[in-house]
């Protein structure tokens, strides 16, 4: 089975090749707001903590966690002929979460297009429909 990430990549390439379409991938998650240098990989190897011999600096999280993106937002977003298109990518067995269903309702209520795509063909068909509809 093709992974969700592989399907996303294929969709981004296909839609990105279309004229007049602005498309992007927006990740969702958390990351530290700052990092602190604590030594080098090589130094940690000497202490027995790592098994690699690498002179690059070693950093650890030093800041608070910052949320980026919004839970449930579409995996891929596009602007097509002035319309917002949200594409949620799933494998054949994948199902929408409650937050994803909320995003779908909000996008559609605002006049945008939302598609649950399991294939490149489904995603490109939605983009073409937005372009002509």
CATH number, domain at 87? 3.40.1350.10
Which structural domain, as residue segments, surrounds residue 55? Answer: 31-67
- Cα distances from 23 to residues 46, 48, 63, 88, 122, in angstroms, run 46, 46, 31, 13, 16
User: What is the pTM assigned to this prediction?
Assistant: 0.77
The per-residue pLDDT for range 50-98, each reduced to its tens digit, is 555 666 776 778 878 888 889 999 999 999 999 999 999 999 999 999 9
Domain check: are 48 and 111 in the same one? Answer: no
**What's the total number of domains in the chain?**
2
Domain check: are 79 and 127 in the same one? Answer: yes
The per-residue pLDDT for range 19-54, each reduced to its tens digit, is 999 999 988 888 888 878 777 665 555 555 555 566
CA pair distance 1, 6, nearest whole angstrom = 10
């Amino acid at each position: 089975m093709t992974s969700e990430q592989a399907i996303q990549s294929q969709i981004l390439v296909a839609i990105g090749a279309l004229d007049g379409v602005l498309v992007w991938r927006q990740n969702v998650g958390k990351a530290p707001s700052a990092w602190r240098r604590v030594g080098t990989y090589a130094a940690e190897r000497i202490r027995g903590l790592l098994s690699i011999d690498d002179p690059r600096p070693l950093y650890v999280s030093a800041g608070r966690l910052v949320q980026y993106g919004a839970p449930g937002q579409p995996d891929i977003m596009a602007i097509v002929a002035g319309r917002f298109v949200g594409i949620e990518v799933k494998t054949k067995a994948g199902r929408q979460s409650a937050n994803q269903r909320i995003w779908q309702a909000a996008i559609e209520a605002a006049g945008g297009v939302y598609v649950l795509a399991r294939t490149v063909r489904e995603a490109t068909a939605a983009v073409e429909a937005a372009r002509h509809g």
